[in-house]
């Protein structure tokens, strides 16, 4: 995304969709549900300086993948964590939004844990939600054993951090043949109950692996029952939804809810519908690969309901 | 050229040539009891086999896939990496719908007669 978007003229039910999946970093400022985007620069940096806290998002590390365009996703994940460690302001925690591994194998999970231990940020507080690649064959038993928060049997959880309510949702289990991501009745009932005591002024940040809106259902990029979750979130003045899964940045604003998908630290995927399948973009040359990969940092300014979201490509 | 030959040539161009050009996997899928997984599709999408037939799935994608019965009628495969195979024997007649739980939009059917 290269331009500043100003959607003051758009109604509450209107939405804006824009895309940035390569190139320079972007600073996103969300104010009362309106997204403003700026390319990273001195002005954007100055705006981020008054943050009271920040956190970083990494996603789709796909440890175990071994083909073009990235035969060594461990190296690029290590580089992404080094980038988090190099941030001028130390983030309070790191969020990994799923597909830690490629095949849910114990050795792949162990590699992720090892790489985390090599990083200052990774040794600190890290919160995870699984991707569909992390729950193959065992419904996520190995994932939850190593990385789960254990608040509920289903694996979902919430916590409050310096005035912001965070919710981690699981939308990669019990998927139906022919369907998309799935939350399920039990999780939705929990979400409704979890949000009920909060005032509408509380900033809410929801994270899950698969996109929480119908981004491109033909490739499975959406969640079957996300509309019900959004129904519970609509009353809040500021809701941010962070996802992974599609290995590129896509944003959408719907009322006061802003959706962001993240880059992968392993390999890019094509833009929706650009190509026959949602597989790895094999045509990316080694010298260009890191410009498609990256991390995200999010800063919160106390007393404002805005979260500033900054994208950083790896090269 | 006789009318019949012209017709045959046209049919070959209209149907045969593009299919051959698409990819060789189509030929391989024509093997009895074999289902190719390619470009996030099971091919053929519907396979009919006799009772007692051995069915083999082969993953030709860079992405991992998994073969799971939609209603637990047969044992699921492990995660199939590129080139991995899964074999199961269908000993009872019926219609077996299956899908890839990693990419649930991928569905297929085995009909056992």
Distance CA A165, CA A195 (A): 9
DSSP state of A270: P
Mean pLDDT lowest among A19-33, A66-80, A167-181: A19-33
Instruction: Identify whether A4 is part of a domain.
Output: no
> Where does the pLDDT of residue B18 fall: very low under 50, low under 70, confident under 90, or very high at 90 and above?
very low
Considering only CB atoms, A103 lies closest to which of B79, B99, B103, namely B79
Class in CATH terms, B25-112: mainly beta
Q: A282 in contact with B at a CB cutoff of 8 Å?
A: yes
Please give the pLDDT value at position A301. 65
Residues A177, B107: C-beta atoms closer than 8 Å: yes
What is residue B66's predicted lDDT score, i.e. its pLDDT? 95
Distance from CA of B57 to the nearest CA of A (A): 17
pLDDT of residue B76: 95
Please list every residue in chain B whose beta carbon sits closer than 8 Å to the beta carbon of residue A180. Answer: 104-105
What is the percent of chain B with per-residue pLDDT over 90, rounded to a whole number?
70
Whether A96 maps to a domain, the answer reads yes
Q: Does A245 touch chain B (CB under 8 A)?
A: no
- For B78, the closest chain A residue by CA position comes to A137
Q: A22 in a domain, yes or no?
A: yes
Residues of B in contact with A272 (CB under 8 A): none
Interface test with B, best of A68, A177, A214 (most B CBs within 10 A): A177
Q: With CB atoms and an 8 Å threshold, state whether B104 touches A220.
A: yes
**pLDDT single digits (tens) B49-93:** 999 999 999 999 988 999 999 999 999 999 999 999 999 999 999
Which of the two residues, A187 and A315, has the higher pLDDT score?
A187
Residue B58 pairs in a beta bridge with: B36, B85
pLDDT at B44 over 80: yes
Average pLDDT, stretch A272-276?
A: 86
Flag whether residue B62 sits within 8 Å of chain A, measured between CB atoms.
yes
Q: Report the pLDDT value the prediction gives residue A198, as an integer from 0 to 100.
A: 96
Does A175 touch chain B if contact means CB atoms closer than 8 Å?
A: yes
Average pLDDT over residues B1-23: 41
Q: Which residues pair with B89 in a beta bridge?
A: B54
The DSSP 8-state label assigned to residue A101 in this structure reads B
**Confidence (pLDDT) at A287:** 84
User: At A56, is the pLDDT very low, low, confident or very high (cuts 50, 70, 90)?
Assistant: confident
Residues of B in contact with A219 (CB under 8 A): 40, 105
Residues contacting residue A94 through CB under 8 Å, at least 6 positions apart: A55, A56, A57, A58, A81, A84, A121, A122, A124, A125, A126, A127
Work out the number of other CB atoms within 10 angstroms of the CB of residue A146: 15
3-state SS string over chain B?
Answer: CCHHHHHHHHHHHHHHHHHHHHCCHHHHHCCCCEEEEECCEEECCEEEECCCEEEEEEECCCCCECCEECCCCCCCCCCECCCCEEEEEECCCEEEEEECCCCCCCEEEEEEC
pLDDT band at A5 (very low <50, low <70, confident <90, very high): very low
Enumerate the residues of chain B whose CB falls inside 8 A of the CB of residue A132.
Answer: 101-103
Contact A180/B at CB under 8 A: yes
Distances in whole angstroms, Cα of residue A7 to Cα of each of A16, A86, A159, A229, A308: 8, 34, 31, 24, 17
Going from the C-alpha of A58 to that of each of A19, A293, B31, the distances in angstroms are 18, 10, 43
Shortest Cα–Cα distance, A223 to chain B (Å) = 11
pLDDT, one tens digit per residue, over A230-247 is 999 999 988 999 999 999
CB of B103 less than 8 A from some CB of A: yes
CA distance A227 to A213: 8
Percent helix / strand / coil, chain A, rounded to 5: 25, 25, 50
Please count the other Cβ atoms lying within 10 Å of the Cβ belonging to residue A85: 16
Residue A2 lies in a domain: no
More confident residue, B32 or A15: B32
Contact A177 B66 (CB under 8 A): no
Q: What is the C-alpha radius of gyration for chain B, rounded to an integer number of angstroms?
A: 17
pLDDT band at A315 (very low <50, low <70, confident <90, very high): low
- pLDDT given for residue A290 in this prediction: 84
**Residue the block writes with tokens 């047969």:** B74
Per-range mean pLDDT, top range of A41-55, A127-141, A290-304: A127-141
Range of the domain at A295: 15-313
Given A133, A178, A282, which is nearest B104 (Cβ)?
A178
Let me know: does A203 contact A300? Beta carbons within 8 Å. Answer: yes
- A258-273 tens-digit pLDDT: 898 888 999 999 988 8
Q: Is A108 helix (H, G, I), strand (E, B) or coil?
A: helix
pLDDT at A9: 33
Instruction: Report the number of distinct structural domains present in chain A.
Output: 1
């Amino acid at each position: 995304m290269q331009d500043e978007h100003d959607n003051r003229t758009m109604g509450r039910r209107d939405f804006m969709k824009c895309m940035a999946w390569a190139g320079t970093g972007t600073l996103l400022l969300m104010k009362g549900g309106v997204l403003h985007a700026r390319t990273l620069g001195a002005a954007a940096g100055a705006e981020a300086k008054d943050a009271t806290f920040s956190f970083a998002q990494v996603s789709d590390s796909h440890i175990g993948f071994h083909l073009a365009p990235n035969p060594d996703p461990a190296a690029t994940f290590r580089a992404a964590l080094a980038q988090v460690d190099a941030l001028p302001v130390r983030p309070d925690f790191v969020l990994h939004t799923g597909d830690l591994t490629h095949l849910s194998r114990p050795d792949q999970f162990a590699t992720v844990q090892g790489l985390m231990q090599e990083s200052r940020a990774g040794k600190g507080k890290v919160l995870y939600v699984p991707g569909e690649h992390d729950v193959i064959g065992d419904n996520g038993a190995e994932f939850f054993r190593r990385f789960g928060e254990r608040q509920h049997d289903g694996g979902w959880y919430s916590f409050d951090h310096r005035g912001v309510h965070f919710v981690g949702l699981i939308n990669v289990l019990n998927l139906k043949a022919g369907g998309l991501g799935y939350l399920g009745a039990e999780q939705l009932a929990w979400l409704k109950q979890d949000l009920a005591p909060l005032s509408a002024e509380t900033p809410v940040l929801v994270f899950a692996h698969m996109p929480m809106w119908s981004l491109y259902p033909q490739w499975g990029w959406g969640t079957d029952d996300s509309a019900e979750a959004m129904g519970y979130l609509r009353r809040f003045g500021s809701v941010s939804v962070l996802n992974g899964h599609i290995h590129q940045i896509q944003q959408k604003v719907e009322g006061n809810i802003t959706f962001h998908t993240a880059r992968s630290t392993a390999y890019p995927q094509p833009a929706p519908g650009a190509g026959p399948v949602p597989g790895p973009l094999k045509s990316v040359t080694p010298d260009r690969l890191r410009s498609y990969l990256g991390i995200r940092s999010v800063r919160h300014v106390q007393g404002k309901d805005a979260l500033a979201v900054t994208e950083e490509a790896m090269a | 050229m006789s009318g019949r030959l012209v017709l045959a040539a046209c049919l070959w161009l209209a149907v045969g040539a593009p299919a051959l050009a698409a990819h060789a996997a189509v030929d391989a899928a024509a093997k009895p009891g074999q289902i190719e997984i390619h470009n996030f599709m099971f091919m053929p999408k519907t396979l009919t086999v006799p009772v007692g037939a051995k069915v083999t799935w082969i993953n030709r994608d860079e992405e991992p896939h998994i073969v799971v019965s939609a209603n637990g009628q047969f044992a699921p495969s492990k995660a199939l990496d590129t080139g991995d195979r899964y074999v199961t024997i269908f000993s009872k007649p019926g219609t077996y719908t299956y899908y890839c739980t990693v990419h649930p939009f991928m569905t297929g059917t085995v009909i056992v007669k």
